[in-house]
Amino acid sequence: MANKNTAKVRLAVDSFGKRAEFDDIKVGAPLEPMEWVVTDEDIEKQCRIDEDYNECYLLDSAYGTRVAPPQIQYRPPRWMLTRTFNVRGVFYKWEFESFKAIKPGKKIMITGKIVNKWIKNDREYIEFEAVGHDETREKVFFTRRTHVLDMVGRTAPREGSGIDSGHKPEKI
């Protein structure tokens, strides 16, 4: 039998400061934009995570260089959300579309915003999207994600402080 979450409170403060509250997150609010340059090491790390060693990720491809696995774009939008709003929780839905190969050493500018939020089954959900463009302003990827803010019901009070989930938003 699975362990049931018996927590009675949601943390108000963690090691990154005051946690954002549902009412503080506004539909249309921009996420902190970021520049991202994928390195050869990033590609190798992603290949290890996915256990995907396709030769176009390791050696060369039809693009004239190695390219990154498309799922490498998962982390930067998450960092943007966490830098903009100190939230924890889990992803509920994730979709993405790739338009161009991600090459090592090429700069990608990523912007995003909150596009929706709602309450369902005593849980708070936010939906955000992000888009990455290369230096020529061509779209590289698009993602839309739904995130449930706390696994503890929204009717549980926010009190006390504690450590975060161990995630530290990376600085690129």
Asked whether the predicted pLDDT for residue 14 surpasses 60, the reply is yes
Pairing of strands 30-37, 123-134: unpaired
- Alpha-carbon gap, residue 15 to 155, rounded angstroms: 23
pTM above 0.85, yes or no: no
Q: Which residue has the higher pLDDT, 98 or 88?
A: 98
| Tens digit of each residue's pLDDT (9 = 90 or more) over 106-162 | 999 999 999 999 999 999 999 999 999 999 999 999 999 999 998 888 888 888 787
- Alpha-carbon gap, residue 109 to 131, rounded angstroms: 8
Q: Shortest CA distance to 147 belongs to which of 75, 74, 78, 79? A: 78
What's the N-to-C CA distance of the chain in angstroms? 42
Average pLDDT, whole number, for the chain? 88
- Alpha-carbon gap, residue 77 to 75, rounded angstroms: 6
